[in-house]
């Protein structure tokens, strides 16, 4: 749940890019993708948990190779249209491993995961990008990305929990 607290912190920090609108956009994308696949948001949360667990070692390796600051910059550039294809090009050897790991952890077949990744990766990149500094703001790095990359943090890759709490945050019970 610490990752969700970092999401909330990014929304409340005027120096970070996070906003309620951005979180809402992430949630809309998750819900639309879940609906298009005939899945519930909870099932999509399981897929996102599997994706987070599989994506973290790849991004950690990229951070070790290029530096965390450069990884933040790369992810910032990939957050727009075509970001999933660009990320796939940046980590081609790991992409098939990523697909297989997500399929194994989620219980879905590799074809379905491969079809969903072009839509899921921009969601994850957008979510992690909420912690990035706004242009002109003094930056101490992206705390969301740091939490995600910290293998010692409890549930640091638990993107499904982030989605579950984001849904409650955006749609509180009446």
Q: Each residue of 24-33: pLDDT tens digit?
A: 999 999 999 9
Residue 79's pLDDT is what?
61
What rounded mean pLDDT belongs to the chain? 83
Give burial (CB, 10 Å; 0-12/13-18/19+) of 152.
Answer: exposed
Which residue's structure tokens are 């992430």? 26
Higher pLDDT, 78 or 19: 19
Q: Which two three-digit tokens encode residue 151?
A: 């293998």
- pTM for this entry: 0.84
Query: Which ranges in 79-141 belong to alpha helices (H)?
Result: 83-90, 92-106, 110-129
Q: Among candidates 48, 51, 83, which has minimal Cα distance to 166?
A: 48
Q: Rounded to an integer, what distance in angstroms lies between the CA atom of residue 30 and that of residue 134?
A: 24
Query: Treating both helix axes as pointing N-terminal to C-terminal, what angle do 41-66 and 110-129 enclose, rounded to 10 degrees?
Result: 70
Q: Could you tell me if 133 and 139 are in contact, meaning their C-beta atoms sit under 8 angstroms apart?
A: yes
Structure tokens given for 169:
């945050």
Tell me the three state secondary structure of residue 133: strand
For residue 158, name the pLDDT band (cuts at 50, 70, 90). Answer: confident
Cα 42 to Cα 110: distance, rounded to the nearest angstrom: 19
Provide the 3-class DSSP secondary structure of residue 136.
coil
Q: What is the pLDDT of residue 21?
A: 93
Q: How far apart are CA 156 and CA 117, in angstroms?
A: 20
| Percent residues over pLDDT 90 in the chain | 21
């Amino acid at each position: 749940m610490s990752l969700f607290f970092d999401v909330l912190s990014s929304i409340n920090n005027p120096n970070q890019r996070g906003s309620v609108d951005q979180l809402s956009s992430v949630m809309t994308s998750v819900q639309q993708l879940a609906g298009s696949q005939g899945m519930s948001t909870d099932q999509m949360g399981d897929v996102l948990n599997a994706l987070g667990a599989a994506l973290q070692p790849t991004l950690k390796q990229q951070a070790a190779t290029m530096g965390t600051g450069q990884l933040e910059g790369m992810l910032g550039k990939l957050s727009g249209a075509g970001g999933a294809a660009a990320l796939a090009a940046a980590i081609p050897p790991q992409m098939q491993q990523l697909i297989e790991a997500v399929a194994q952890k989620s219980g879905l077949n590799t074809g379905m995961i491969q079809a969903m990744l072009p839509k899921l990766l921009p969601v994850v990149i957008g979510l992690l990008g909420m912690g990035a500094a706004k242009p002109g703001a003094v930056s101490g790095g992206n705390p969301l990305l740091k939490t995600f990359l910290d293998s010692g943090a409890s549930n640091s890759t638990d993107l499904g929990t982030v989605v579950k709490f984001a849904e409650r945050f955006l749609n509180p019970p009446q």
